[in-house]
Amino acid sequence: MPFLATLADELQSSMPYYVCTHVRPDGDAVGSQIAFTRYLNSLKVKAFCILTRDMPLNLQTLIKDTPYIYLEDMKDDAGILIALDCADLTRLPASFKNLTHFLNIDHHPNNPNFAKHNYVQENFSSTCEILITLLREVGWNFDLIAAQALYAGLITDTGNFSHSNVSANTFACAEYLLQCTHLQPYEIIQSLFEQKTLAQIRLLSLFLSRIQLHCNEQIACIELTRDDYVKTNTQHSDTEGFIAHALTIQNVKIAAFIEYNEHFVKGSLRSKAPHLAVNQVARQFGGFGHICAAGFQCDSRTFNRNQLIQALANLIAQ
């Protein structure tokens, strides 16, 4: 029986389903939320996307008439939780720890299967790719808004079908969305990637000017501070996708983007090939992630940048 069909009997309409994702959501996270909420609504099940106000503007355009609630506005949290693209419970908003964890659909390695029903597939490029596959299995009639959201997830998690996580199924999923709806890929590209503010471009310029190469020019490291955001009138979420620029440098195998805040340091790590598993290094710093894309957050008092560069250099030397 298709996985989603096995859940059908348990879906109830008395309690709302809160379709959640990880903090600092990306295209895959929000795309999954939108599509799954719409799927549940099509079954006459009361469901809402739970969004946060720090969500990037370009992702907000995908929501359209999908029912949602801002986490900040939630007064009563009695509901049933569905977690999408969430590597573990620590990635969920703290106020949701006490809800019934009904369903967990994800593609992160080491997901501990924290819900009653779990569908975790590491070999999928994105949670959106998993959802398209599962929704096809149950013969769901994809609507345009869901298809656009899912397509957005596919392209953001695969770097426009350029990363090592792309498979034949990834393209088959994209093809299916185009076949069954009037989806126009260029429209999604425009609404996701061509909506930058001048301030964001200035921040990008600053980001590029900070690139430093280490380890025989194989590691690119970029550091931004809170002051940099203040000066450019931008915020953390405005750096989405910046790190990919550092990886385009010849000979660079790994890029590390370090953001310094008052109390903590946030690191993003990317590698060009699956044999450079940057999630191993992220774990050393208390983080997690995919083989080629991982991150961590740690106390700024204990963080040592040279230690990070050394750990990455060790990875290359292996």
* Sites of contact with Mn ion (CB under 5 A): 28, 85, 126-127, 157
Nearer to Mn ion, 111 or 126 (CB): 126
Task: State the nearest-atom distance from the C-beta of 85 to Mn ion, in Å.
Answer: 4
Which of these, 250, 239, 301, 299, lies nearest to 272 by C-alpha position?
Answer: 250
Minimum CB separation from Mn ion for residue 150, in Å? 12
- Neighbour-count burial of 210, counting CB atoms closer than 10 A to its CB (0-12 exposed, 13-18 middle, 19+ buried): middle
Closer residue to Mn ion, CB minimum distance, 170 or 218:
170
Q: Which two tokens stand for residue 2?
A: 């298709």
| Residue with the two structure tokens 């013969």 | 139
H-helix or E-strand containing 42? helix 27-42
Identify the three-state secondary structure at position 103: strand
Nearer to Mn ion, 157 or 259 (CB): 157
Torsion of CA 153, 156, 157, 162, to 10 degrees: 130
State the nearest-atom distance from the C-beta of 252 to Mn ion, in Å. 24
**At closest approach, how far in Å is the CB of 38 from Mn ion?**
18
Is the Cβ of residue 91 or residue 266 nearer to Mn ion in the bound state?
Answer: 91
Maximal C-alpha separation, the chain: 61
Shortest Å distance, C-beta 127 to Mn ion: 5
Residue with tokens 């096995």: 6
Report the residue number, 77 or 88, with the smaller CB distance to Mn ion.
88
